[in-house]
Structure 1
């Protein structure tokens, strides 16, 4: 596979509180995703360099965008974050490779700048103990 940019080849859907996947990519201006693993240092005193074991897998995502109150768009997806405790499937495809995982979103932040921009941010974390795997 050739190297590629993040332009034009991204799909992104997040479940609303009822479990219906909603395509919100048009409302997302940027995102950051991480799939870290825990690490345990097991270095003995007889070593001159670190030894480590990989531990639990994790995933997190932060979505940022422009506020859109239209039906089935980003506000409909995230407006229930403060009042519900539901897991939501996040599915992201970038240049033909897909990562999907169950997430809990812990915040839905709105921000109005002094120039009048109304933006939002929503951080999510792995919810169900299933290792996120790219397909």
Structure 2
């Protein structure tokens, strides 16, 4: 692989409340995904620099975009967030690299925010976190 831009985006899909994966890339204008690891400080008195142990893996992020209330579009997919009790699967693919193709991460969308700005624009954002305890990993699509 070579250096790339984010223009190779080919898929961004999230489950709707019925469990059907819906492509919402046309309504999404930005996406941030983090795959952090917890760390434990294990520094002893015998050393002069930090020692750390890697702990559990995680996934978190925020998706945002332009409001669209058409059938199977972003509002239809995310409007059940306030009452949801189950996680949602998602798929993100860019330039042939996918996050969790073989073990699709399940996320909890923790909020669905609408913003009507002073200029009249209507946008949305939705933070999410890992839900199912499966370590997310990049794999070839």
Classify the TM-score, shorter chain.
over 0.9
Equivalent in the alignment of 1:104:
108
Structure 1 segments (4+ residues) deviating >4 Å: none
Render the CA deviation track for 1:75-108: whole Å, top value 9, x for unaligned. 0110000012121001100111000310001100
| SS in structure 1 of the partner of residue 55 of structure 2 | strand
Equivalent in the alignment of 2:17:
17
CA–CA distance in 2 between the matches of 1:123 and 1:79?
A: 14
| SS in structure 1 of the partner of residue 138 of structure 2 | coil
Equivalent in the alignment of 2:69:
69
Q: For structure 2, which runs of at least 5 residues remain unmatched after alignment?
A: none
Q: TM-score, normalization: structure 2? A: 0.93
Give the count of matched residue pairs: 135
Equivalent in the alignment of 1:119:
123
Q: TM-score, normalization: structure 1? A: 0.97
Task: Give the helix-richer structure, 1 or 2.
Answer: 2
Render the CA deviation track for 1:90-132: whole Å, top value 9, x for unaligned. 1100111000310001100000000000000011100010000
Equivalent in the alignment of 2:93:
93
RMSD over equivalenced CA pairs, Å: 0.8
